[in-house]
Structure 1
Amino acid sequence: MKLKALLALFFGVIAVFAFSPFNLWPLAFFSFIGLVALSINVNAKKSAIIAFFWGLGFFGAGVHWIYVSIQQYGELPIPVALLLLSLLIGYLSLYPALFAFLLNRLAKPYSFVQLVIAAPALWQLTEFLRGWILSGFSWLQLGYTQLNSPLKAYLPIFGVNFLNLFVPMLCGLLLYLFSIRHRIHRLTIYLVVVSILVFSVITGYLSPIHWTKVDTSRKVELALVQGNIQQSLKWNKDQLETTLSTYKQLTQAHLSSADIIIWPEAAITDAELNQQDYLTALDKQARENKTTVATGIIDVRYRHHDIDVFNSIIVLGDRVPYAYLNDNRYSKHHLVPFGEYIPLAQLFKPIAQLLNVPVSSMTAGERTQPPLMMQGFKFTTVICYEIILPELILDNFQPDTDFLLTISNDAWFGNTIGPWQHLQMAQTRAVEFGRSLIRSTNNGITAVINPQGEIIDQLPQFEQAVLSVSVSPSIGETPFAIWGNWPYWSLTLLLFLITFWFKIRK
C-alpha cells in the first residue's frame, strides 16, 4: 500500500510536465494510466487513498506557485502560508480520490466498462465538481495538455472539456488492451489496428482545417502596455501617482501610431470616481489622436448603506467622450475565491483577514455583457481568471465578434509556472473560438495569439515595455462556438447510462 501511494505521488507529479511551459503532452497519458492502474485492483477505501496521493503530487507540483501570493503578498508567516497551501492541495486532492472510490464501486476491475466507459465519465464528473463547488478552481484540466498534440484538431469542434473526457477514455482503452494481452483474439487485434488507422486519418484530415477565416481587408494596430509594477507596491497609496505617470508615459509614444492601446487589469489602482480628471484628460488626448485606450480599473459605486466594487475595463477615446458609467465597459463576472470575494463569508472570513488581500469583497458583474467596441471592432472580453472558463465566453461570444480580449495581473505569482499555465489556457480559447486573442498583463505574459493558438508576438516577463502588433480580425464560427458543450455533455451522459445499465444488469 505504501509503495502504491508513493508511486501514485510520482505519477501525479509528472502530469504537471505535460502542461506549459514544459509541454511534454504524452506524460498526461502516462500519468492517468498510472493513477487508474494503481487504484482499481484494491478495495474502495484503499483506492481513494491512492488517488488522494496522486492528487497531492499533481496539485502540489502544479499549483505550488499560489504560495507566492499567500506568503509574499499576503504577508503571512511561512508556517501559516505553508499550512494554507497544504489545506488547498489536500482539498483539491479529494476530487481524484472521489473519482477512484466511485470507479471502484461502479464496475468490475479491469473490465471494458470500468476502464473505457465509467472512468472517463466519472473523471469528468469530479472535474466538473472541482470547477463548480465554492465557485470552483478548474485549473490544470488534462485537456489543456493536448494543445500541442494531434488532438488539438478537436478543440475548435468540441472544446477542451471534450479532450478532458477523451484523454481518460484513450488511457482506459490502452490499459484495457494491456490487461487482456494474453487472451486477445486475432480479430480483436485487427479491429484495434483498423480503429487506430481510422482515428489517425480523421485526426490528420481535421488538423489543417481552419474553421474561421482571417479578414485581411481589415486591420488594427495594437499597442499593449506592460507597466511591470511590482505587486508589493501596486496597491500602496504612495505608488499611485508613479503608476499613473508610468502608464501615461509609456502610452504617449504610441498615441499617433496605434489604433487601440490596452492597459492591463487594474492598471489604475484607484476608484474610477477618484480619477475623473485623469480619465477625462486621457480620453480627450486619445480622441485628438484618433486612438482608443482601454484600461483596467476599480469601479466603486455607493448605494444606500452599501458599496459595490467592480473589477472593470473601460474604454477611452472612442467616438463618444468618456463619462462615468458609460455603456462601453466590462465588469468581471467570475470572481476569484479569497482573492476577490469570500465564499461562505462567516466561515472563511478569518482566512481572508489573514491573507491581507487589497480587494477581497468585490461585486460580480452580469454574466452576459455586450462586447467592447473599439475603432469599429468588437471584442469579447474577460478579465484574468475568467479566460479559463469557456462556458463564460460562450455566453458572451457573438458570431460577429472580431477578437477575444483578456487583461490580467499575474504579478501575484512571481517567476513561477503559474503565468505560463494561464497563457496556455488563453491559447486554447483562441483555438476553440477561431479568433485572435489579445492578452495585456502587468508584468507578463503579454501576448497576441492567432486563431490556431500560436503566439504571434509577446513581451518578456518582468520588463516595462509596449508590444506593438498589427492584427486582422476573423470571420465565421467554429463548431464549438455554435454547439457549445452539448456534444460533450451528451457523450458524458451516454457513458453514465451505459455504466449504470451494466451495474443494474449485474
Structure 2
Amino acid sequence: MAASILSCLRRCLTPAAPPEGSCAVRWWHYLVAAGAGALNTLSFAPTPHGGWLELVLFVFFFAWLTRTTSWKSAALTGAAFGFGNFVTGVWWLYVSMHFFGGMAAPLAGAALVLFSLYLALYPALAAALWSFCAGHARQRADDTQPFAPTWHGSFAFASAWAIGEWLRGTMFTGFPWLASGYAQVDGPLAGFAPLAGVYGVGWMLALVAALLVQALTQALTQALTQALADAPHPTSGSGSGSETSATPALRPRSYSCSCLAHSAAPAGLALALIAAGLLLPLVTWTVPANVPLSVRLLQGNMKQEMKFEQAGMLAAIDNYQRMITAQPADLIVTPETAIPLLAQNMPEPFALALRRFADSTGSSILFGAIGGTLTPEGQLVDYTNSLFGLTPNSGEIYRYDKHHLVPFGEFVPWGFRWFVDLMNIPLGDFARGAPVQRPFLVHNQPVAVDICYEDIFGEEIARTLRESPTPAGVLVNATNLAWFGNTIALDQHLQIARMRSLETGRPMLRATNTGATAVIDAQGKVTGRLPAFTVGVLEAQVQGTSGNTPYVSSGNNTVLAVSLVLLALGFAFGPGRRRGK
C-alpha cells in the first residue's frame, strides 16, 4: 500500500504529457481564478489593513498561474482574476449609469460587464508576458517536467504585472482604479510608495508573492523528493523471486542542504522586502515649509438628481454662500461644481458676498463652478470644469481648469455619442486645461489643485510638482462623488488620495459633495473626516511641506525601466531558453 502511494507521488512530480487534443487546464481553474479576483476586492477600502489580505491572495494567484501550460492558459487565468476583481470592485459604475444616468438596468449591467472585460485584458497581458519570459511558453513542446517557480519567473511576474497596470492607467486616457498598490496604503509595502509610486508598490507586491511561492514550492518539492528517496523500495531476492527487506535510497546530505538553501533564499528576500516596507515610513523625504494653514472644507450634500435643476442651483448658491461666510480661515474649499453655473453667470450678490468676506477676514476661497472662454464676438466657448480662487485684497481671480477629463461624463470618445445619448447626464463635453498649471497661493503657501478623479493619476501630480517654478506644499482635491451613491467608491477614492500623499510627502485636503471629505497628512494618515451624506464643515490645521520624494523626481520611469530590463533578461536568459538550446 505504501509503495503504491509513493509511486503515485512520483508520477505527480514528473507527470506525463497530456494526451494530444486534451484540455490541460480545466474550466474550473478559471472559475477559481475569478473567485480569487473577486475576493481581492476585499483588500481595498473600506477593509482596514487589507494589504495583508492582498498579499495572501497574490501568493495564491501566482501559485495558480504556475499551473498553466501555455501562454494562452496563463492569459485566460490573468483575465479571469482581473474580471473577478473589476466587476466586484467598480460595480458602483452601475449606480452612476442606471440610477443617476437614467440608463436601463440591463444596458447598465451589460456596460459594466463589458468594461470589466476590457479592464481584464491588462492582467491577461501581464500573465501572458510572464509566460513568454519565464513560464511554460518558454519550454519545449515535448517538455514533461513540472513547472517550478524560479528567480526568473518571480522577477518576470513582478515586471509584467507592473507593465500591465501602467498600461491600464495610461491607455485610452487610463483607468488605474484598483491598481494593486492602493490596497497597500495600510499594508506592509506602503513604505515603497515615495520611492516608486503606486505601480512600484504593485511591482513589489507581485515580487514578494512570487518569491514566497518559489520558496514554498521548492520546500515542498524537496520534502516530497526526500520522502520518496527514503521510502522502502521492493527489491528482487537473489534467484528466489520473492521480495526482500526494503533498502532506502540514500542521498548525500549536501543535496538536502543545497535544496534548503534554494528555498531559504527567496523566502529570506521576501521577508526582507516586507521588513523594508514596514521600516521605510521612518525615512523623511520632505520637511515642513511655511506656517501651518487653518482650513475649512465644505460638504454640501446636494442631491445629484437636483443639482442641475433650477431649484437645486438656487439652493446650492444659498447654501454655499452661508457655509463659506460662516467663519474665516486661511483656506476655504468647496466641492467640484459646488456652484453649477458658468462663472460669468454667477449671481452678483453671491460674488460680492464672497469678495467682501475674503477681503475683510483675510480668507482665501476656492469654489467649484463652470468656466468658459469669451470670444471677441461675445460668445462663450470651451466650457471647463474649473475651480476659481479669491485671494484677500486682490482683484485677480485664480482659475484651475480640469485637465484629465472623465470619458462619457466630461467628454465623448469618438464613436460613442450613441452611448452618452442613452444617459441623462449633463455637461457631456468639456475643454481640457493645461497639463501643468500654476498653484494657488495662500499666505505664501503654494497649493496644488486637482478636480475629481484627477488624483488617481499620480504621475500627473508628480509632474506638476516637478515642473512648477513654485512647487506646492499642499494638495487639494475637490470632487463630487454623488454620482455613485452610498457605495465603496467613496472609501476607495479616499484610499487613492492617501497614496498621493505617500508618493509626494505632502498633505492632501479633500472637499467633496457627499463624502469622503477628509484631511490627510504628509504620511498618508487621515487626521479628520466628515461623515458621508451629511451637511458639514471640516476644520483643521495643515502643515505644508517642501522637497521631492524619489517618485516626484522620476515619476514612473524607474519602475518602467526596471521592469522592461528584467523582462528582456528573463526572455533572453530564462530557463526555458537554456533548455531549448
TM-score range, shorter-chain basis? Answer: over 0.9
Structure 1 equivalent of residue 435 of structure 2: 367
Report which stretch shifted further, 3-12 or 118-127.
118-127
Give 2:94's match in structure 1, choosing from 67, 76, 97: 67
Q: Give the superposition deviation at 1:211.
A: 2.0
Q: Give the superposition deviation at 1:100.
A: 2.4
Structure 2 equivalent of residue 442 of structure 1: 513
* Alpha carbons 2:166, 2:199 under 8 Å: kept: no
**1:196-215 paired onto structure 2 within 5 Å:** 198-199=272-273, 202-203=276-277, 205-215=279-289
Distance, in Å, in 1 between the alignment partners of 2:520 and 2:212 is 34
Distance, in Å, in 2 between the alignment partners of 1:137 and 1:350 is 22
Report which stretch shifted further, 387-396 or 313-322.
313-322
Distance, in Å, in 2 between the alignment partners of 1:354 and 1:383 is 26
Give 2:47's match in structure 1, choosing from 9, 22, 30: 22
* Alpha carbons 1:155, 1:432 under 8 Å: kept: yes
Structure 2 equivalent of residue 90 of structure 1: 117
Report which stretch shifted further, 144-153 or 470-479.
470-479
Q: Which amino acid aligns with 1:132?
A: T
CA 1:265–1:80 in structure 2 vs 1: closer, same or farther (change >3 Å)? same
List per-residue Cα deviations over 1:182-215 (Å, max 9, x = no partner).
Answer: 2361333453465456546644542322222335
Q: Give the superposition deviation at 1:424.
A: 0.4
Q: Give the superposition deviation at 1:411.
A: 0.7
**1:195-344 paired onto structure 2 within 5 Å:** 195=269, 198-199=272-273, 202-203=276-277, 205-215=279-289, 218-255=291-328, 258-275=329-346, 277=348, 278-303=350-375, 307-322=381-396, 326=397, 328-344=398-414
Report which stretch shifted further, 416-425 or 283-292.
283-292
Q: Give the superposition deviation at 1:472.
A: 2.0
List per-residue Cα deviations over 1:101-123 (Å, max 9, x = no partner).
Answer: 33333333434255312212222
Structure 2 equivalent of residue 489 of structure 1: 560
Distance, in Å, in 2 between the alignment partners of 1:82 and 1:282 is 44
Give 2:217's match in structure 1, choosing from 153, 162, 179: 179
Structure 1 unmatched ranges of 5 or more? none
CA 1:321–1:67 in structure 2 vs 1: closer, same or farther (change >3 Å)? same
* Alpha carbons 1:8, 1:50 under 8 Å: kept: yes
Report which stretch shifted further, 300-309 or 98-107.
300-309
Structure 2 equivalent of residue 402 of structure 1: 473
Report which stretch shifted further, 295-304 or 4-13.
295-304
Distance, in Å, in 1 between the alignment partners of 2:336 and 2:31 is 41
Report which stretch shifted further, 369-378 or 59-68.
369-378
Structure 2 unmatched ranges of 5 or more? 1-25, 137-147, 223-257
**1:156-171 paired onto structure 2 within 5 Å:** 156-171=194-209
CA 1:478–1:287 in structure 2 vs 1: closer, same or farther (change >3 Å)? same
Q: Which amino acid aligns with 1:502?
A: F
Moved over 6 A (4+): none
Distance, in Å, in 2 between the alignment partners of 1:429 and 1:87 is 29
List per-residue Cα deviations over 1:320-350 (Å, max 9, x = no partner).
Answer: 125xxx4x22111100111111122xx1110
Distance, in Å, in 2 between the alignment partners of 1:284 and 1:370 is 25
Distance, in Å, in 2 between the alignment partners of 1:134 and 1:204 is 35
Distance, in Å, in 1 between the alignment partners of 2:75 and 2:508 is 40
CA 1:34–1:262 in structure 2 vs 1: closer, same or farther (change >3 Å)? same
Report which stretch shifted further, 391-400 or 56-65.
391-400
Q: Give the superposition deviation at 1:169.
A: 1.1
Q: Which amino acid aligns with 2:56?
A: F
* Alpha carbons 1:115, 1:175 under 8 Å: kept: no
* Alpha carbons 1:117, 1:498 under 8 Å: kept: no
* Alpha carbons 2:299, 2:536 under 8 Å: kept: yes
Q: Give the superposition deviation at 1:139.
A: 0.5
Report which stretch shifted further, 395-404 or 375-384.
395-404
Q: Give the superposition deviation at 1:153.
A: 1.5
* Alpha carbons 2:507, 2:522 under 8 Å: kept: yes
Structure 1 equivalent of residue 254 of structure 2: none
* Alpha carbons 1:447, 1:458 under 8 Å: kept: yes
Distance, in Å, in 1 between the alignment partners of 2:523 and 2:363 is 28
SS in structure 1 at match of 2:189: helix
CA 1:240–1:202 in structure 2 vs 1: closer, same or farther (change >3 Å)? closer
Q: Give the superposition deviation at 1:243.
A: 0.7
Give 1:393's match in structure 2, choosing from 437, 447, 461: 461
List per-residue Cα deviations over 1:230-282 (Å, max 9, x = no partner).
Answer: 11111112311111001011222213xx1221111001101111116232442
Distance, in Å, in 2 between the alignment partners of 1:209 and 1:62 is 33
* Alpha carbons 2:215, 2:263 under 8 Å: kept: no
**TM-score normalised over the length of structure 2:** 0.81
User: Is residue 470 of structure 1 aligned with residue 541 of structure 2?
Assistant: yes
Report which stretch shifted further, 411-420 or 25-34.
25-34
CA 1:418–1:194 in structure 2 vs 1: closer, same or farther (change >3 Å)? closer
CA 1:106–1:193 in structure 2 vs 1: closer, same or farther (change >3 Å)? closer
CA 1:420–1:450 in structure 2 vs 1: closer, same or farther (change >3 Å)? same
Distance, in Å, in 1 between the alignment partners of 2:454 and 2:573 is 39
Distance, in Å, in 2 between the alignment partners of 1:337 and 1:78 is 20
List per-residue Cα deviations over 1:430-464 (Å, max 9, x = no partner).
Answer: 11111111111111110111111111111100001
